[in-house]
Amino acid sequence: MSPISGLNDVVAFVSERFPVDKLNFHSMIEKKEVPIHKMTWGYYTGGLALLFLFVQVVTGLFLLFYYQPTVSDANLSVEYITKYVSCGALIRNMHAWSSSLMIFFTVVHLLTTFAMKAFDRPREITWVAGVCLLLITYGFGFTGYLLPWNQIAVNATKVGLQSVELIGTYLPGAIADLPRILKETFQGEASVGQATLGRFYAMHVVLLPLALFAVLGIHLLQVQLHGMSQGIDRAAQKSEKFFPLFILRDLSVWGVAFLILFVLALCLPFDSFVSFPLLEPYNALGATPPGIKPEWYFYFIYYPLELLPFWLILLLSNLLVAGLFLTPWIFRDTSRTTLGFLALLGTLYLIIMTIFGHNIYEIFKGGG
Ligand code: HEM
C-alpha cells in the first residue's frame, strides 16, 4: 500500500464518520427517526446515564462549597455537610446514589448497544468513545471513594494502588517500572496521605470532568450525525420522530428516574450499607478494620482477584479492555442473535459476581 492510498483510506474513514454535510438542525434533529421494535427500550439507557451524570455535576458543585480536601478536615467537612448544612445530607446522598445509578446505566447501555450491534459501521467512533466514557466513569468512582477520608476509603485505595504496582512484576524489561511510576504519580508520597488526597481530588473534580465532557461531546455528536442504529436484524416496520416525540418520552423517563433517585436519597442513606467502624475517620496509627472492600461496581473484578491468581485476572482484564475497544472490528460479521447471547452471558456474570460474589468467595475460601 502506497503512502498516498493509505492517506486516502484515512480521509475516507474520517469523512464517513464525520459527514460535515449533515452538521445541521434538519439532518441531526428534524429528520431523525427512532425505530420501534422489541429492543426500543435500549435507546433510553444512554439518556439515563446522561441524566445521572447531570445530577452528579449539580450535586457535586454543591458539595464543593463545603468539602475540604485535607487529611485533617476532609472527614469533618463531610460530617458537617451531613449534619449541619441545610439539605446537605440529601445532596450528599443523591451524589452517592446517583454515582451508582450512572455506572449501572452506563453498563446496561454498553450491553444493549452491544446486543443491538449499534457499534457497526459507521458507528465505530461512537462505540470507542463509549468505552472511554465507561473507563472515565469508573475513574470517578475510584477517585471519589477516597474523598470522605474514612477507614474503608483510605484502606481500599491503598489496596487498589498496591494492585497497580503489582502489575510491574508481570511485565518484562524497562516497562516493568511503569506501574510503579503510575502508582507513585497517583499516590504522590510514600504512603496514601495528603498528596494522594489532593491528587485524587484534582482528578475527581477537574481532570476527569474535562476528559468526560470532551469525549461525551464526540459521543453525542456521532449519535446525532448517524441517527439511531436499526437495532434488530430486519429493518423495523415502524418508527417515531426523534423530535419531539422521542425527546418527550425520554424526558418522562427522566422525570420518573429522578423521582426514584430523590425518594431513595431522602429515605435510605447510602452509608447505611457500610458497617460503622469502616466509616470512622481514617486513623494512620490504628489497625486496619476487617471488611475493607471496594464499591459494588468493582465486585466483578474484586472477587475473582481474591480467588484466582493475579496474573490470570490481569491477563483477562487486559483482554477484556482490548476486546471492548476492538469490538466494532472483532464482531463486524457477527449476527445480532449471537451478540444478544453474548450480552446475556455478560449480564449473568455481572449479576452473579455482584450479588453472590461474597458467597462464592466464602465457599472457596472455606473449602481451601
Ligand atoms: C457516560 C456514559 C455515557 C453516556 C452519558 C452516553 C450517552 C448516550 C446517549 C444519550 C445516546 C443516544 C441514546 C441511546 O442510544 O441510548 C448514546 C448512544 C450510544 N452509545 Fe452511549 N453513553 C455513554 C456510554 C457508552 C458506552 C460505555 C458505550 C459502549 C461502549 C456506548 C455506546 C453507544 C452507542 C454505540 C450508541 C449509539 C446507539 C444507536 O445508534 O442505537 N455509550 N449514548
Q: Phi first, then psi: what are they for 35, rounded to 5°?
A: -65, 145
> At 34, which helix (H) or strand (E)?
strand 33-36
Backbone angles phi, psi at 172, to 5 degrees: -90, 155
Q: Is residue 212 part of a domain?
A: yes
Please check the confidence at residue 366 and state whether its pLDDT lies above 80: no
- pTM metric for this prediction: 0.96
pLDDT, tens only, 104-163:
999 999 999 999 999 999 999 999 999 999 999 999 999 999 999 999 999 999 999 999
Q: Which of 181-190, 215-224, 270-279 has the lowest mean pLDDT?
A: 270-279
65 in a structural domain? yes
Q: Return the pLDDT at 1.
A: 67
Q: Is the preceding omega at residue 19 within 30 degrees of 0, hence cis?
A: no
354 burial via Cβ count (<10 Å: 0-12, 13-18, 19+): middle
Task: Give burial (CB, 10 Å; 0-12/13-18/19+) of 317.
Answer: middle
Report pLDDT for 288: 87
Instruction: Check if 130 has its Cβ closer than 6 Å to any atom of ligand 1.
Output: yes
Work out how many domains the chain is built from and give that number: 1
Residues with Cβ within 8 Å of residue 368, at least 6 apart in sequence: none
Residue 46 buriedness (CB in 10 A; 0-12 / 13-18 / 19+): buried
Q: What percent of the chain has pLDDT over 90?
A: 92
Report the pLDDT value the prediction gives residue 285, as an integer from 0 to 100: 86
| Residue 130 alpha carbon to ligand 1 centre in Å | 6
Q: What is the mean pLDDT of residues 282-304?
A: 92
| CB-ligand 1 contact for 196 (6 Å cutoff) | no
- Protein residue with least CA distance to atom 5, ligand 1: 50
Domain membership flag for residue 140: yes
Least confident of 26-30, 160-164, 275-279, 358-362: 275-279
Distance CA 56, CA 140 (A): 10
The domain of 123 spans 37-295
Ligand 1 contact via 208 beta carbon (within 6 Å)? no
Ligand 1 probe mutation, 99, 219, 251, most atoms within 8 A of CB: 219
**233 domain residue, yes or no:** yes
Cell digits of residue 178: 511503569
Specify if 7 maps to a domain. Answer: no
CATH number assigned to the domain comprising residue 72: 1.20.810.10
Q: What angle do CA 219, 109, 130 make, to 5 degrees?
A: 30
Pocket flag, ligand 1, residue 228 (CB < 6 Å): yes
- Nearest Cα to Cα of residue 39 among 116, 127, 108: 116
What is the per-residue DSSP string for 152-186? HHHHHHHHHHHHHHHGGGGS-GGGGGHHHHHHHHH
Give yes or no for residue 275 having a pLDDT over 90: no
- What are the C-alpha distances in Å from 276 to residues 175, 222, 240? 41, 46, 51
Closest to 95 (Cα-Cα) out of 212, 270, 239, 253: 270
Residue 37 Cβ < 6 Å to ligand 1? no
- Pocket lining: 115 vs ligand 1, CB cutoff 6 Å: no
Q: Residue 17: inside a domain, yes or no?
A: no
Identify which of 138, 143, 134 has the alpha carbon closest to the alpha carbon of residue 186. 143
Distance CA 108, CA 115 (A): 10
**195 pLDDT higher than 70:** yes
Say if 95 falls within a structural domain.
Answer: yes
CA atoms within 13 Å, Cβ hemisphere of 134: 21
3 in a structural domain: no
